[in-house]
Structure 1
Amino acid sequence: MAERKTASKKTPIGVASKAKKPTKAAARKIATPADATATSAAVTTSPSLPRMSPLDGRYASGPGVTLTPLAPRQRISLRADAQSSKAVEAKLGLVLPSRPKTSTSVDGISALWLGPDEWLVLADGAAEAEMLPARLAGVAAISVVDVSHRNVAIAVEGPAAEAVIAAGCPQDIRLGGFPVGAASRTILSKTEIVLWRTGEQRFEIECWRSFADYAWTFLAEAARSPAV
């Protein structure tokens, strides 16, 4: 039986052979330093925006009371024992309050007693320019946490200020038991706050910014018809 011979295919002379497809590795462009420079030059960065308060632009009032969001201020959460607190006082230029529901203020810096070894320190006006954590650098055995952007402050002012806050605060805040300068950690409805009496008819409420809208709305509703 004769074997079948298969003729091999040959490319005719003068006809170019079909080019092979390049592999993925060959097709991938190799980046060069010049490419990286061009890429980085094409990327544009926007300037950082100032942090805005969730209460910016708000104002509310009612019979005998006004609500006002306060300007940003510098805040630190301070923990210190009896020995290191003396060094803190020398750095801040004020005596830290040592009794519950008390505060001290000197030249725009205020310290609010929150516990036996805990204070909320606030700086307003010109004092805010001096960074509090920097002033306390080098003091041993203390804890300093900058909470300036964590909190928002609301001023409640007027003859009905007590009644408006009392609508959601179980603490006795009448002037006899909560005099000017008194400060404490308490609650307003379902929100934890730090309440500070700065005048006979004026309070400041410090709350976390995530609760600011809730606290403001509660106070604004209470201000519509305060129980005085």
Structure 2
Amino acid sequence: MSDRSPASSVTPGTVSIRPLGHFGRAVLRCRAAMVDSVSDRLGIALPREACRSVVDAGISALWLGPDEWLLLSANAPDSWVATLQTQLGDVLCSLVDVSHRQVALEIVDGGATAETLLASGCALDLSLAAFPVGMCTRTMYDKAEIVLWRRAADRFHIEVWRSFARYVEGLLRIAETEA
């Protein structure tokens, strides 16, 4: 059975920072010529525009590079990636289960804006004009690599490696108290 615990046991959620539950996660890599075939078989149109996401049929696909996507599914069973692999059949691509490698945090407007909290450790311009809803990117939060995804005007989803979760969460909570 997988560990379905939230991001870390440092503290429960606050007004602005909430650990999210279990997600099925997979890294998909394929050549541009295979994207249509992979999309058809998975039932989701993989985003082709840089740093964009698509959500459909319970799957979120985040563009991480010209041939790389992070697939997410909330509360996915342990067999989720095996099911996707079966759907892909003989299509030439790579699909790797990373469900246990990462955890998710949600940052929402509360005492301070989500943009302000994230700006404490992220050098990107996170204004709505520069980082619109649906945009995602792999970036740094202080010294930890994260995947940052804007879900709504007031809400971000962060994917962080489990070994860095307490570090990132702790820095965000410091920023929250100082905001």
Fold conserved (TM > 0.5)?
yes
Whether the 8 Å CA contact 1:55–1:69 is kept in 2: the answer is yes
Per the alignment, residue 93 of structure 2 pairs with: 142
**Is 1:104–2:54 an aligned residue pair?**
yes
**Structure 1 vs Structure 2 CA RMSD:** 1.9
Per the alignment, residue 191 of structure 1 pairs with: 144
Q: Deviations over 1:22-79 (max 9, x none)?
A: xxxxxxxxxxxxxxxxxxxxxxxxxx78464551473353xxx511100011000110
Aligned with residue 80 of structure 2, among 125, 131, 154: 131
In 1, Cα distance between the equivalents of 2:13 and 2:74? 23
Question: Any stretches of 5+ residues in structure 1 without a counterpart?
Answer: 1-47
Q: CA deviation at 1:83?
A: 2.2
In 2, Cα distance between the equivalents of 1:211 and 1:142? 29
Per the alignment, residue 64 of structure 2 pairs with: 114
TM-score by length of 2: 0.89
Q: Deviations over 1:87-140 (max 9, x none)?
A: 211122111111112000012210000000000000124xx2471342233233
TM-score by length of 1: 0.71
Q: Which structure 2 residues correspond to residues 1-228 of structure 1 after superposition, within 5 A?
A: 50=3, 52-53=5-6, 55-56=8-9, 58-61=11-14, 66-125=16-75, 128-129=76-77, 131-137=80-86, 138-158=89-109, 160-226=113-179
Question: Any stretches of 5+ residues in structure 2 without a counterpart?
Answer: none
Number of residue-to-residue matches in the alignment: 174
Whether the 8 Å CA contact 1:58–1:68 is kept in 2: the answer is no
Q: Which structure has more strand as a fraction of its residues?
A: 2
In 2, Cα distance between the equivalents of 1:98 and 1:136? 21
In 2, Cα distance between the equivalents of 1:206 and 1:49? 18
Q: Percent identity?
A: 40
In structure 2, the residue corresponding to 1:136 is in which secondary structure?
helix
